[in-house]
Amino acid sequence: MKAVIIYSGGMDSTVLLHEYKKEIQLAVSFDYGSKHARKELESARFNCHLLNIKHIVVPLLFMNELFRSSLLQGQGEIPEGSYDTDNMKSTVVPFRNGIMLSIAAGIAESNGLDTLLIANHYGDHAIYPDCSEPFIDGMADAIKAGTYNGVKLISPYCHISKRDIALRGRAMGVDFSHTYSCYKGEEEHCGKCGTCIERKEALAGFDPTSYKV
């Protein structure tokens, strides 16, 4: 397996990066103008350097102009409170995973790599349609049929929870202080937005993160 990973620098994809470090030839991050891009990319660079994995950042700054989401710079406030609430929907960037997977599929085929890795997990399904299993299955079919060498899409955490990913990372010695989650993108995690609440729950008992509250 010669793999390309969609790598944000968040905790889920950082665990995946460590788990498949021997197979990964290239980590691809995307800068689509999110409020937390700078902090996430800082973590992404740290972990790729640590594991000696080639890392590139693909600029998609047109998304800020053409897409609607409170996650993007200049487009409204990030809501606070749990992921269960309807207002977290405002942070969805429409079809983001489809866009990232498609570009990574083209990069994989251009460079003779045969596998794509993505770290979507079970807990993502409810709020993000582009993390659901039918989405992943459709993309896997399209990418296999749409490339000469039949690039394979693998989503190893599709059926486990964020807590399970955190436990897996801890067992592998992942340093979670070098991962970033907060949608507000400030130096310190806010501790109140949906992703911060999720992060706290997932890392409970071994959380090295400094939260504002």
What is the contact surface with a copy of itself in residues (CB under 8 A)? 56, 58-59, 62-63, 66-69, 89, 92-99, 101-103, 105-111, 129-130, 132, 134-135, 137-148
Nearest to 179 by CA among 4, 1, 15: 15
Q: How far is the CB of 125 from a copy of itself (least distance, A)?
A: 10
Q: Which residues contact 158 (CB under 8 A, 6 or more apart)?
A: 120, 121, 122, 133, 136
Cβ pair 176, 208 in contact under 8 A: yes
| C-beta closer to a copy of itself: residue 107 or 154 | 107
| C-beta closer to a copy of itself: residue 130 or 198 | 130
Q: How far is the CB of 40 from a copy of itself (least distance, A)?
A: 18
Cβ pair 89, 127 in contact under 8 A: yes
| C-beta closer to a copy of itself: residue 17 or 131 | 131
Distance separating alpha carbons of residues 25 and 96, to the nearest angstrom: 23
Q: How far is the CB of 132 from a copy of itself (least distance, A)?
A: 6
State the DSSP string of 159-188: TS-HHHHHHHHHHTT--GGG----TT--SS
Rounded to 5 degrees, φ, ψ at 39 are: -70, -40
Q: How far is the CB of 35 from a copy of itself (least distance, A)?
A: 17
| C-beta closer to a copy of itself: residue 30 or 157 | 30
